[in-house]
Each structure stands twice: as C-alpha cells, then as structure tokens.
Amino acid sequence: MTDSSPEQAPQGSWGARMLNGALWMIALRWAIRLTGLVSTVILARLLMPSDFGIVAMAMIVVSTLEIFNQTGQKLVLIRLENPTKEHFDTAWTVSFLIGLAIAAAILVVSPLAELYFHEPKVEPVMQCLALRAILGGLENIGTVHFRRDLKFNTFFAYNVYPKLISFTVTIVLAFLLKNYWALVAGILVGQLALIVLSYTMHPHRPRFTLSKVHEIWSFSIWTFFRSVGYYLNGQIDQVVVGGFGGAALMGRYAVATDVAQSPGREINDPMVSVLYPVMSRLQNDMPALRDVYLKTLGWTAFICAATGVGVALIAPDMQQLVLGDRWIGIAPLMSWLAIGGAIAGLSSGAYSLFDALNQPGTGARLIWVRLFLLGAAIVPVAFWTKSLIDIAICRAVGEALFLPGLFHAAHRVSGIGFKQYVQVLYRPLLASILMAFAVIAANMTLPISGNTRLAIDIGLGATVFLGSTWLLWRAAGRPQTPEADVFGRVAKITQIPSAHMRS
C-alpha cells in the first residue's frame, strides 16, 4: 500500500506537489481577491478618498507595530522535523504576549500619529484597531499544521472565510454609515472570525508555556528582523506620502497601489507561500532545492512580466472602469506602481531559499539593504518634488537596483549560476517587451477608446505575450520550465475535442 502523505512523498514528486498546491491556492486566492475587488469598487463609490486615507494612515502605524508579532515562530514550527506540543504552545504564548504589548504601544503612540499626519480622526481609529493586535495573538497555533502537511486548500479556506465575513460587514456598514468607520469595523470583525475559525478547524488547544522559547528564538530572531524590514520596504513610500500629502493623496496612492499590483501579487504570493514548506522538506538535497527555487523563479517571472507590464499598458482604461470618475488622473501612477511591483516580485522566493538552508540572517540583512536603497531613492525625491508619480518611479528604480545583489547572495548559498538566471528570466522579459510594442502600436493606430480599447488591449496583449513566449520556448529546445507546464496543459485541453471526434 502506497503512502501518499507529504512526509513520505518521493523527492521526484515535489515539483508536481508544489505546482498542484500553488494552483489550488491561487484559485482560492483569486476567489477571495475578486470579492475584495468587488468591495473596492463598491466602496470607492460609497466613500470618499479621504475615508480610505484616514484608515490607511492608521493602518500604517498599527501594521508597523504589529510586525513585532512576526517573530518567525510559525516558520520554526514548519522547519522543525518533529516539533512537539511544547514547541507549538510556546509559539502561541509568545504571540499572545507580544499582541498585548503591541496593543498597549498602539494606544500610546496614537496621539503622535495625529500630529504627524495632521489628521485628528486617525487617533480614535488607531485606538479601536488596538483590539486587533490582541485578537491576533489568540489565533490557534495548531493551524500551522495546514502548511506543514502541505494542506494548502485547507490553509487558504481558513483564511478565505473570515475575509468573506469582513467583506459583508464592511459593505453593509458602508451603506449605512457612509464613512471610514465601516472599514474599521470590517477589519475587526474579520480578525474575530479568524480566531473562531482557527479553533473550529483544528483540534489543538494551546496552553501558556515558555519551555521552548530559546530553541524557537535562535531561528526566529532573524526572521523577526527580516519581517520588520520587509514591512517597512512595503510601506516606506506610503509613509512619505502621508507625511506631506494629507488624507486625500494618501488614499489615492494606497488605492492605486492596490489596484495596480493586485493582479500579479494575488497570483505570485500564494505560489511563493507554497515554496517554503516544500523547501524545508528538501533542505538536505541541494540539487532538488535549486531545481524547486529556479522553477518557482521562472513562474514568478512569467506572472510578473505578464501582469506588471500588462497593467501598466491598460492603466488609463482600467482606472476608469474599476474606480470611476473620482479617481481620474491616477493612471500614470498605476503604471509605475505595476512595474515596480513586478520587479519586486522577482525577489520573493529567495528568502524561502535562505530559510530552508538555515541562513535566515542572510535574508534579514538583504531586506535591510533593500530598505536603504528604496529610502535613498524615494525620500529625497518625495520631499523635493511632492509628486506621487516620481515616488512610484523611484520605487521601481530602487527595486531594480536591489535584484542583482539578491541573486548573487542566492548564488553564494546554493551555487545557482548567472547562466541559469538568464535562462529562466530572458523569455518572459522579451515576451513582455513584444507585448508592450504590440499594444502601444495598436493604440496609436486604431481610433478607439474606453472599454472597447481595454478589451482589445487585453486580448492582443495576452495573445502576443503567450505567442512570443511559446516561440522563444521552442527556440530554446523546449526546456522543462514553466512554459512546459503551461503549453503542455494547453495541448492536453486542445486534444480533447479531436479525441472525441475520432471516437
């Protein structure tokens, strides 16, 4: 009798298991993301940009403090071969105690946030959101088993249901209140639903203990520093905008970032989330580890090139269709944010590689180097020009400058060579350039606009990108890269009708 459990799966099956898990998570992620997109579209018509800006300002401070609860306890539990109940309970105890400390810190700094953002409504919002930090520490630590056992369908369902509840509450209250308190209530209800579901879906019942704290902390201290740096990397431009732009500009930048980067992020992030648990099982098999990382990098390049350049090309018509007249003028901002997000996506899998090789310090140091580069690019220009587009351009440039150093660090720990990186990356890059030329040429030639142009641009862009990728892949000798998975599945689908006809 064959045991198909994750723990005993043969090494040759890891690639297929990872791909299937990633596809399952992407499908679920997009189901909830479509719900979120509907929420954004509805709320953009019910609320003012300043409402989004007030909550975004509060969340910058709240989320910055909440990052102190991202000390890597869950990553340790995933990486350990045989964690005990004491390991799980210690991780839960640490999370709960940190949550209490974060809630207290939010209450203390809330008056200072009002002074920085020059918006008195931020303080009461932060005081309410302090409750989220406490609730976050109460989540059942047993849900880590969903990722350890590669049950990504269960893991994502566990995250989907609370978001659906939050969506429903937010929309109903937005109709009733028509102000930012609807957003605040939705955040808190979603966190409460996550706690209830965590104890419903997994039988583990944590208790207070610190018996394994030293063992956990030796690894998690580095992931903590990396988490802080990673969060600041994602927020540095919004912090700067909030400092000089006020609630309205802050709202425009936050919504533009969300709409521009979501198509790529909502595919790439769930795929990369599968990477670390799989790599943890392969930590003693370097050739397999390299293959899994390069395969994931290839998928990331394929996704980010298509969505990043694609959104940049259709931003004017996409902005009008998705957000409406209140947001006119943010299309150029969306284009640059999409490009920057695509470049940043290429770095996402490397940190899982460092962690799997028990070198979390390498990833932590690199993420702070990235923060320094982004800060040096963004902060002076932001306060000099006070232009949202200039800030987005500087972010894209900073992300591009960081990538070579990251790839070199991955080479040093794993032996991945320059030629291997080129073989993985050049086809998606060339295909995206050809797609851009085709769409721009069509827009300059055809006298169309609005939703018709949007539909034509999407169809033309997808056709050129996939077609050129296919030609480049065939010219390269049909290597076992993401293109092989994509076009192999397409071939199987297209053969089904002909098979029926022959029968």
Three-state helix/strand/coil letters over 220-231 = HHHHHHHHHHHH
Residue at 48 is within a domain: yes
The dihedral over CA atoms of 284, 286, 289, 293, expressed in degrees to the nearest 10, equals: 140
Q: Is residue 475 a part of any domain in this protein?
A: no
Pairwise CA distance, residues 31 & 29, whole Å: 5
Q: Which of 330, 337, 311, 301 is nearest to 420 (CA)?
A: 301
d(CA 66, CA 102): 6
Angle, alpha carbons 211-213-218 (nearest 5°): 145
Q: Half-sphere exposure of 376 toward its Cβ, with a 13 Å CA cutoff? A: 11
Residue 3: predicted pLDDT: 37
- Please answer whether residues 83 and 15 qualify as being in contact, where contact means their C-beta atoms are separated by less than 8 angstroms: no
CB 119 within 8 A of CB 56: no
What's the pLDDT score for residue 447? 86
Count Cα neighbours of 467 within 13 Å in the Cβ-side half-sphere. 9
Q: Is the distance from CB of 223 to CB of 72 less than 8 angstroms?
A: yes
If phi > 0 it is left, if psi is from -120 to 50 it is alpha, else beta; for residue 82 that is beta
Identify the pLDDT of residue 307.
94
> Of the candidates 383, 382, 404, which has an alpha carbon nearest to the alpha carbon of residue 392?
382
Instruction: Using alpha carbons, list the distances in angstroms from residue 441 to 167, 188, 472.
Output: 40, 48, 22
Residue 248 in any domain: the answer is yes
Tally of domains in the chain: 1
Residue 26 lies in a domain: yes
In a domain, 503, yes or no: no
Taking only the tens place, the pLDDT of each residue in 40-79 is 778 878 888 888 888 888 888 888 788 777 767 887 888 7
* Cα 29 from Cα 271, distance rounded (Å): 10
Contact 305, 432 (CB under 8 A): yes
Domain membership of residue 368 (yes or no) is yes
Q: Is residue 94 part of a domain?
A: yes
Domain that holds residue 117: 12-416
37-42 contacts: CB < 8 A, separation 24 or more?
37/262, 37/322, 38/167, 39/167, 39/170, 39/171, 40/255, 40/258, 40/259, 40/322, 40/323, 41/322, 41/323, 42/171, 42/174
Convert the pLDDT of each residue in 125-172 to its tens digit.
999 999 998 998 899 999 988 888 777 778 878 888 888 899 899 999
Q: For residue 185, which of 128, 254, 100 has the smallest C-alpha distance? A: 128
Distance between CA atoms of residues 475 and 336, nearest Å: 32
**Residue 486 covered by a domain:** no
Q: Nearest to residue 433, comparing CAs of 297, 322, 342?
A: 342
CB burial of 56-90 (b: ≥16 within 10 Å; e: otherwise) equals bbbbbbbebbbbbbbbbbbbbbbbbeebeeebbbb
> Is the pTM here over 0.75, yes or no?
no
Distance from chain centroid for Cα 41: 20
Chain centroid to Cα 119, Å, comes to: 29
Under-50 pLDDT residues of the chain: 1-12, 496-503
